[in-house]
Amino acid sequence: MTLTFAGRLQTRLFLFLFIGLPITCLYGFAVSGWQWDWRVIQVFVWFLCTITGFGLLLDPVYIFLQSTRWDRDWPFAYQFFFSWVEFGVVFFVARAGLVPYLPEVAFQGSRGLGIATLHFTLVFVPSFLALLGPLQAIFIRWRFKGGQFGKL
């Protein structure tokens, strides 16, 4: 399936809302010692929002790159690679203190890298697996509409 620009945006936001945010809240809850500490949880929520926003900004670039391929597709290997690139860029920008709403202290040292990487992995793997199978099975027409949601 070749995603259209609208389909790419809709799919990214759908996965963010229905997989990313719930897992992020649970992860923040676990990191805070299974106590509701919004200060801790919001760091992970804002981190995920920043990665999603950066990905949304890069989607026109991805569509352009997709148009340069002979069959106009975007293989899942590319998606896997560029998802980790988005994570890396946002992580290092946050670590440098260039994102005002993300405390740079949360991303310092190997512990910060480990916590952020585990968080991204716990969100990325279910999202990627949902994209490979269940999303296509539940939303049957999604595949034929270039990733756009709508009338089934």
Segment 14-31 mean pLDDT: 96
Residue 80 lies in a domain: yes
Q: Where is pLDDT greater, at 56 or 105? A: 56
pLDDT digits (tens, 9 = 90+) for 47-100: 999 999 999 999 999 999 988 988 878 888 998 999 999 999 999 999 999 999
In-domain check, residue 88: yes
At 47 the pLDDT is 97
Asked whether residue 71 is domain-assigned, the answer is yes
CB-based contacts of 72, cutoff 8 Å, min separation 6: 2, 66
Domain total of the chain: 1
Do 10 and 131 meet the contact criterion of CB atoms below 8 Å apart?
no
Q: Is residue 150 part of a domain?
A: no
Mean pLDDT of the chain: 90
Residue 41 has which token pair? 């949880």
Which range marks the domain in which residue 38 is found?
A: 5-145
DSSP per residue over 1-34, as a string? ----HHHHHHHHHHHIIIIIHHHHHHHHHHHTTS
Residues 6+ apart with CB under 8 A from 1: 136, 143, 144, 146, 147
Query: What pLDDT score was predicted for residue 140?
Result: 74
Q: Give the confidence band of 4 by pLDDT, cuts at 50, 70, 90.
A: confident
